[in-house]
Structure formats: structure tokens, C-alpha cells
Amino acid sequence: MSRTPRVLAALLAFAVALPATPAGAVPTDPVAPSDRATREPGNGPERNEVAATDPLLTAGAMARTQGHNQPTKTAGYPKQTKLRVYPEDPTDRAIKLGLVPYHGIAPALNDLQARSDRVSVEVAGQSTLGRDLYLVTVTAPEHVSETRRQDRWRQLIEDDPRAAARDRQLRDGYKTPVWFNGNIHGDEWEGTDGALRVITQLATATDTATRRLLERSRLYFTVTNNPDGRVAGTRVNGAGFDINRDHITSSQPESRAVRDVLIATQPVLMLDEHGYTGTTLIEPSTAPHGQNYDYDLYIRHAYPNALGMEAAIAALGHPETARANIPFRDDAPGDWDDWPPIFTPMYSMYHGAVGHTVEVPMQVNRGSYNSLPVEELRRRSGINTDVAAATIRAAIGYADSHRAALLADQIELFRRGWAGEAQRYIPDGYVPGFGPEDRYTTQFPRAYVIPAGDGQRSPAAAARLVDHLVAHDVRVRRAKAPFKLAGHWYPTGSYVVDMHQPKRGLANAVLEAGRDISALVPQMYDISGWSHGLLWGATVHTSRRESPRVPTTPVAVASPTGGVLAPYGRDLALTVDDGKDVQAVNALLDAGVALRRQDDGTIVVPASARRSASEVAERLGVRFTAARWPARGEALTKPVLAAAVAADELFVLRDLGFDVRPVSTAVLNAGYDLSDVDTLFVSSGLSYAGLNAAAKSQVDALLARGGVVTRGATGARFNADAGVLPARAVAGRSDANGVVSVTGGGGPVGTGALPHSFVYAPLWFTDLGAGVTADQRYAATPLVAGHWIADPDDGTGGPTDASGQAAVVSGVGPRGTAAVLFGTEPLFRAHPKGLFAQVGRAIFWTATHNPPVT
């Protein structure tokens, strides 16, 4: 049920108490009312489908020796850059909507820099396809000494919040940072145009209110976070990724760029401008709320700011903007939650920002883009631009009017982290509508340890995890001596994440196992479980109460992990335990090294290739040991893959170094030649039953000589239709997802695998025929963290049904095809990096078990 009936009276009283026109707000444009447009359904959650040189940024992006922002050579404001101008592109999809094309942004910003000393523009990074990502800063001019003082204050807020809270000069003189991110989904255009409108007004206004606003504020705009998608009219970036699902993983350059903007600017408030939901949607969100938040510091600003933005869009006069949907107020728990830190605002909250998603109302993308008249599309995009600009102005006004409270609460967030204080109990009615369904908390552990030495499963994975933490402004330290903690001895060089630190919420969100929330909400908007600690391949230990008593040094970058640990003259062995090991195998194959694959999956490198192995070890951080003597096994040549896969899987397979040829039913039916392919990977877009006779003959020939790897329902259907392995796939609930426990450990995939995996729409396999083995099985209680319930109609598809069933199977079927079938999601959104080795092992095994016929 909606919250509205329960809280209406309190809500109205709360809204009336808000200032009608916040001091410092940017004046709105006069607009004429327009007719109500037909409301279309919004864009729901979807799985990924195929489809800087700035000193400020450098401070956030370079090696942070204390795990925090480091000062660099400082320039004052404005610090302006003459942006490169891109050739006109008449195919830019924004043009049809009457919006600014990407090639028009740089000239507009260059012009504003020439006309106004309030505007600075810098390049925050490049997109997947090499387009510039712009960071626009709007503030009153600053002498270099003033900019240095602002930088020192920003550092003090995070590094010593107690001192910051006592600093009267900081309290009076700190320029409140506010950040606006636009167009992260490429076919949700108008956030860019609304931002440009506000930037232009602020740059050129001559009134006293605007001048004073900019004297006490820094306003940051990443005007388009996804220029590749903007030009192409796609939600995803140039690699096929939804960037707004990538922040905790940061696999894409666009998400890494805004991560560094966020860390470097440390905003007290941010908006992420999206579309299209029929009625303008303005967060805060419904439950469940991320359990690592200090939610009291968030909701007391997020809710009134949302009400202020609602008032601002109502004042536009459009019938379509008379009221907003504020999920916290209007929706049922689970409908639009802020649980996972994959979204920009939810991730930003861990860095001290009050984060909001704003969804402008009128759909102009996808089917509407192609079916509606241009005149109607432009009318809608005009309304959407008005909404984007109005919400930005209202947020600026709120941040200025509530500057002291926002600043104090950011300082308080970091102070609680340093002090290791418990999260606050939030009483019912803390803001109108807050109740028991909103109360999510955790008990932070005292420390995490990422061991060095023999206790570490994968030194390469450990180094990756440490570097990831540091890049996200989590403080990591390295032990200078052995130490004992919570009953374990750890060697010198082990990494310690002391949870008495300013961004403990983010540290815990990254490293903890997570929580099973299946019984708490009926559904979830997106994924509900993730864990770098369990899924990234490194050994991570948790100390609940004790902190290590050992001298440490701050980490800027993880120690090197690669090496050749074998006597000269001996063949070398590489155990494929991590994606880096898979990359190493493919790099050696690319270099022409003759490798052999042993029955346990170990890769043997001849002694004569020691120099090549040393180079790969240094570059990728992998370790070679002495091979058993005599070294036997199948000769391994570079596998060629034909892959009918989702964009995230294609990205990972290529990143692992495989030679991948994308295929589909249509591509094969058009006559694609599979004669040089070793393994067929099927998870998306390929139906055996849908192949024509010639294509089916090609596939049959491949199955007779090569291998198959499948994932998910599409892969399982291919296996059944093609008669590859005798195994029956059973589908779990389609929206089930999260971290699961698995057992087993044999076969080409299970050997050396992690005891945890990831699922999204999980499968399991029954009725295993001759020659088929279960490499992994779901544990007796499978779900560790996430959301997985049985179908409410018939009670099937839940974790109880999956208990003990085969999650991954392998074997040689009646066709003689070596095959591996995944019911788990080992490549999902390039996130579960510790599972990538499973896929590499599966490919190497299927490619060598049946060598190509000559």
C-alpha cells in the first residue's frame, strides 16, 4: 500500500513549514502552460543487454597515500579549458528532440567561459568511445590562495571532522559544494539541457542574489555522463553497460570519472537527472534503505528537498508537472529502493552527499522516439527540460538555505565514522511517514584483514581489491610486522581496513557479506546482494570487536604480487584461480608459447619460456610455481569463441584476452562461418530451433569437434534443443538475485572455485545423465545475501527447491561435445571478479577436451 493515507496530515503540516521560496534560489523561467500529454509507462529495471588533466580531479583520482583526497598544485577559479570541438554529427539522436547534440556542447561551454569568469570547464575523463566528459564548475572567482583554503577545509572535513566542527572560519567561509549529474542513461537526454540552461543563467545573471549565492557555493555539473549513449540514443554506454548499475564495481570509464569527481568535490547534495516515469519521480526512495547509511543525516534533508523540488515543478504551470511521485511518500516498500550502492545517488551517500534520482516525466525515447511526431516529441522534451532545470534550481536553493545544516551533517557523518559510533535509532515520524519499515541498520565490524602470505587465496585478487578500495577513498593500511587478531596470526604485509574511518559505510558495503532481505520486502527494483569480500576472489577476514595492534603504513597502491617461484630449468605451472590468471594464459598464447593443460586445470609453461612468463607475471601480478615432473596434459592453443552473449559477458570475455566472435541466430542464419571456432558460448540471442538448415549444419559440425559453454535460460534451452548434455534445467524465480553459497569443487569449473557465487534468475540442473557431473551445487541454505523467494502462486522456484541441486555441470554428451552449463551468473555486469576464472577454466577445458579435427 502507499504511505499516503497514513501520513497525509503530517505531510501537509511538514510541507507548510517549508520556506516557500528558499533564500538564494535561482529565479525560474516564465513558461506557458501546455496541454496534458498522454502518460506512458516508464523505463523499468533491466539487465545489461547488447545494445583528467584537472588539478581538482587529480586530487581525487591519483594515488591517495592516506586513502583520501591529496592536494596537488592548485589553481584559482576560473580554471578554464579550451575544449576540443567535435565535428557536426547529423545522426545525433538529440537533434530530433530539439535538444543540444553532443557536438554542440563544447562550443557552448567555450563561449560561456569566454563570457563569464564564473564558469570553469575541465575534462573529467573520456567515454568508452573516446568522447570528452565535461565537468563544469560555477562559482565566484577565487584567488589561488582562496582555492587552497577551500581545499584545506574540504580535507579537514573528512580527515579531522572534530576540528572542522570547531572551525568558525570554515563554518562561515566554506563554499558549499553541490553536484549535478546529467544524462547517465544516454537516451534520457534532458538533464544535460536543463543543466546547460541553469549554468547559462548563473553565468550571466547580474542580480545581487546570484552573486552572493556563488560567493558561498561551488556548483558542479557533469553535463553528460554518457555521451556515447546520447549520440546513439541508447540507455547504455559504448560497451553496452548501464553506467547507473556500475558504481560499486566501476568497470566503465564513465563511472570511474564521476567517482573521481565525487571524491574530489565532496558535495553535500547531488542530483542525478533521468527520465521517464510518466509523473516526475523525485527520491528519497522506499525501503529497504542501505543498512550502512547513517540514514538520519540523509532523510532529514532528502525529504524536504524533494518537497521543494515538487513545488518547483508545480510552479512551472504544466498540467503534466502538477505533482511529483516521491517514492518514500507514495510507493510501497521495495518499489523503488535505495538498497544497493550501484546507483549514482546511493553510492554518493557514502561520500557525504544527500543524493537524489530525479526522473523527468514525458517519455521521448525508445518506441515513442520512433512513433510520435517530431512536434510532439519536442513539446515533451521541452517540458522535461523545464523539469530538469527546475529541480536543479530548487536543489541549489535548498543547499544554500540549509547550508549550515548540510555542512554540519556531512562533518557529523565523517565524525561518527572516525569515532566508530553506532548508528542512531530513528524514531517513527522522524520525518512524516518514517516508520518501522524504514529502519535498516547494521553493526559495523572493528576491522577487516586481507591477509598476505600463505593465508591468501589469490595475491592478485587481494591486490585488485586493495587498489579498488583505495580508489574509492576507503583507507587501507599495510602491517609492518606480524600480528595476531581475533585468534589468527597474520604476516607482515597484510592489509588492514580499520573501520574507524570517515567512509566506513562504503568500506562495509564493499567488504561485508550482505543481508538476506527476502522476508522484509515483497520485491526489489534491482539487485539485492553483492560482495567484493565474497565474490572478488581474495581471502578477507572480519574482526568484529578487536582492532589490530601493529605498526602500519598507509597504502596508496597494493604491493606487487607477481613472480616466478621455481628453479631455473624447471617447467612452470600456473593455477587458474583468478581472471588475471586467465589473462596470463591468453597473453602467453598470444606470444606463441606452447602451453599444456593438465587434468586438474593447471597450465604448464615450458622452461624455455621463462622470460615470457616473468614479463606476464610482472604485468598481471600472477605467480608461476614449479610444475610437477613429468609435465603431461593436452596442448592448449588460443581458443576462438563464437559468443551469443550479453554485453557484460562480451566485455569480460574480451578483457580476459579471448578471441571472441559475436554471433546470434540472425548472424548464423546469414551464413557466418564457424569452421575456425573452438567453443560456442551461448547465453543470449541464439536459438538452435530458430536456425535454418545451413546454420544448423554449421553448429552441428562445431558440436562434433569443439565445445560449448552456456549460461542462463537461453543457454539451457540451446542445450536441450541441440541435445548437448543430458541434464534438465529448472528455473528459479526470475527476479531472484544475490550472493549464494555453493558446495563441491570438482570438474573443470569446480576445482579451485570460491565457496560463493552470484545468481540472477537462478537455474539448477536435475536428471543428470551419463557422463555429466555436478561441478558445483547450491548449499543446503543457498542465499547469503539478496532477495529470493518462491513463487507466491505455486510455492516453487525458491531457495528451498534449489537446495543441494547442481548449480554448474560439465561433461561430454552423446554428440561427443565437451560442455559446461552455468546456472549461476559468473560474469554479471563485470562484477563478480572472483568467478571469472571459472569461465576461463570452462573455455580452456571445452577447447582442449576435443581438439579440432585436422
Grid cell digits, residue 804: 543441494
Cell output for 720: 536441450
Peptide bond into 174 cis (omega under 30): no
Q: Following DSSP, what letter does each residue of 728-765 receive, concatenated?
A: EEEE--TT-EEEEEEEE--HHHHTT--SEEEEES-EEE
Residue corresponding to grid cell 506512458: 40
* DSSP-derived pairing of the beta strands 763-766 and 659-662: unpaired
Residues paired with residue 636 on neighbouring β-strands, in sequence order: 595
Pair type for strands 217-222 and 176-182: parallel
Tell me how far apart the alpha carbons of residues 449 and 470 are, in angstroms, rounded to a whole number: 14
| Among candidate residues 364, 356, 357, the one with its CA nearest the CA of residue 383 | 364
What is the residue whose three cell numbers read 581438439? 851
**Hey, what amino acid is at 16?**
V
Which of 527, 529, 636 is closest to 574 using CA atoms? 636
486, with CB counted inside 10 A (0-12, 13-18, 19+), is: middle
DSSP type of residue 26? P
Q: Answer yes or no: are the C-beta atoms of 102 and 231 closer than 8 Å.
A: yes
The full DSSP string for 367-380 is HHHHHS-HHHHHHH
584, 622 in Cβ contact below 8 A?
A: yes
What letters, b where the CB count within 10 A reaches 16 and e where it falls short, cover 602-630? bbbbbbebbebbeebbeebbbbbeebeee
Q: How far apart are CA 522 and CA 154, in angstroms?
A: 41
Phi and psi torsions of 275, nearest 5°? -170, 165
User: Which single residue is written with the C-alpha cell 534550481?
Assistant: 393
Q: Give the pairing of strands 477-479 and 286-289.
A: unpaired
Give catalytic status of residue 158 as yes or no. no
Residue of 183, 106, 174, 110 lying closest to 142 (CA atoms): 174
The end-to-end CA distance of the chain, in Å, is 66
Catalytic residue (choose from 254, 359, 412, 512): 359
**Residues carrying an active site annotation:** 359
